[in-house]
């Protein structure tokens, strides 16, 4: 099946720094990528949808200036958490789908801890 690679798997950073998370489709062209986050003991929640070459569409309540999403190529999307704070500590996971690759394929997730 299609593979989505997400890096890093775990990151610890100081408050105020920015963190970039990468999501790559290894063997298919991902026309659409999705970013989710999961707070402890909560459900995975969709944060934003990004189509290659377009601006991301953010879900209600997600700050677009804080969570910068770039989907400049058909195989790579990045999520940058700018000026991270402890309340941004969460599990972030991406998924991708392509026009010729039906289905939704997930990365392995990134555990972000902001000190």
| Residue entry with tokens 């990468």 | 22
110 binds another protein (CB under 8 A): no
Does 103 help bind another protein (rule: CB under 8 A)? yes
Contact (Cβ atoms closer than 8 angstroms) between residue 110 and residue 91: yes
Q: Does 74 bind another protein (CB under 8 A)?
A: no
- Determine the 3-state secondary structure of 86 from DSSP: helix
Single out the segment in contact with another protein by CB under 8 A; choices: 13-21, 71-79, 80-88, 92-100.
92-100
| Out of 13, 66, 80, 106, the residue judged to bind another protein by CB under 8 A | 106
User: What string of DSSP letters covers 8-71?
Assistant: -SEEEE-TT--EEEEEEESSS--SEEEEEEE-TTS--EEEEEEETTSPPEEPTT--TTTEEEEE
Complex with another protein: residue 78 or 97, whichever CB lies closer: 97
Under rule CB under 8 A, which residues in 27-56 are in contact with another protein? 32, 34, 36, 41-46, 49
Binding footprint of another protein on the chain (CB under 8 A): 1, 4, 6, 9, 32, 34, 36, 41-46, 49, 93, 95, 97, 103-109
């Amino acid at each position: 099946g299609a593979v989505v690679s997400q890096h890093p798997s775990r990151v610890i950073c100081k408050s105020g720094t920015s963190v970039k998370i990468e999501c790559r489709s290894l063997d298919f062209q991902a026309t659409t990528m999705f970013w989710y986050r999961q707070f402890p003991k909560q459900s995975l929640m969709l944060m934003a949808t990004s189509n290659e070459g377009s601006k991301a569409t953010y879900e209600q309540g997600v700050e677009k200036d804080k969570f910068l999403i770039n989907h400049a190529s058909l195989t790579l999307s990045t999520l940058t958490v700018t000026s991270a704070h402890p309340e941004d500590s969460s599990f972030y996971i991406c998924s991708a789908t392509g026009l010729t690759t039906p289905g939704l394929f997930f990365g392995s997730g990134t555990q972000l801890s902001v000190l």
